[in-house]
Amino acid sequence: MTRMAGNLEEWTANKEDAMDYVKPYGVVDSMLAGGALKLSLPPRQLMLRGMLAGAYLGIGTSMAVTAAVETGYWIVGSLLFPFGLALAILLGAEIITGSFALLPVAAADGQQNAGLRQVFANWSWVFLGNLLGSTAYAGLFAIALTTAGDAQINAVGIKLMAIAEAKTNYYASHGASGLLAAFTKGMLCNWMVSLAVVAAYMSTSFSGKILAIWGPTLLFFSQGFEHAVVNMFLIPIGMLLGAPITVSTWWLWNQIPVTLGNLVGGMLFTGLAMYAAHRVVAPVSAPQPQATMASDGAAARADRPGYSPSF
């Protein structure tokens, strides 16, 4: 009996693991539901959630840079950075780069209240919230790092200044080529980051979501690509610590081209690409899986207590 009970527990665990996976067309259903939810939020909530997301990403970035400087290995910081993005996604905060992937999908599907006006209004509020949250954390971190300006800047601060200059003055020194590089790095970045946002829909478990988020985020950060919200922390903190960067240089040579690159990468390479490849309106002809096999998606488990297709 004991052996039978053990086998039953193992079978149950394997069944739960299989049911945890959501197939691609189920992921697209969840993307549509997530986009609809974002478009239903009032400006006040968009702002607050955007501010929290900006702060969370700033926290993850400062931790990553600190770890990289103290260990001497950038990959160590890259392994830790996804904590900030995972925190933002799982706590339901609003990141503009994720919205760049999800909202165009809702619009392409013809959902109610998903017109261009609603989409751009949503993006505007979230972008502003991200900016406020990121710069607020940059100010707090600058105070903590320099003992409110009373101590010399340490190795972490010097590294942050160097990063900020590399993201602004370096591009400016290369003119049009610098703008193209910033745009391209932004595009590649959000291809990966928005994949992390979407990949979290592939699992209904906490551990599965964490793992799905971690991989694509690690790819972006380890390769030095450009993320608009992360830069809302990195460049202001460099400026506060004394890096010779003007506000106009920040926006012209980084924030604007990177944000546009993030938009293209998230919208085309992740959101609309997933929608075109896996959108299934009524898969009635598909063979039905057994109950012990992997779940077909959010729709297949919609009757579960407490299940929600969005975060």
Q: What are the extents of the domains in the chain?
A: 23-280
- Residue segments in the chain with a per-residue pLDDT below the cut of 70: 1-19, 282-311
At 282 the pLDDT is: 56
**Positive or negative: CA dihedral 221, 159, 231, 44:** positive
CB burial string 179-206: b at 16+ within 10 A, e below = bebbbbbbbbbbbbbbbbbbbbbbbbee
Q: Which residues pair with 21 in a beta bridge?
A: 203
pLDDT of residue 3: 53
Domain 23-280 belongs to what architecture?
A: Up-down Bundle (1.20)
Q: Which amino acid is at 102?
A: L
pLDDT the model gives residue 305 = 37
Residue 280: the pLDDT is 79
Among 239, 221, 81, 85, smallest CA distance to 160 is for 239
257: Cβ contacts below 8 Å, ≥ 6 apart: 179, 182, 183, 186
Q: Minimal CA–CA distance to 69: which of 13, 148, 153?
A: 153
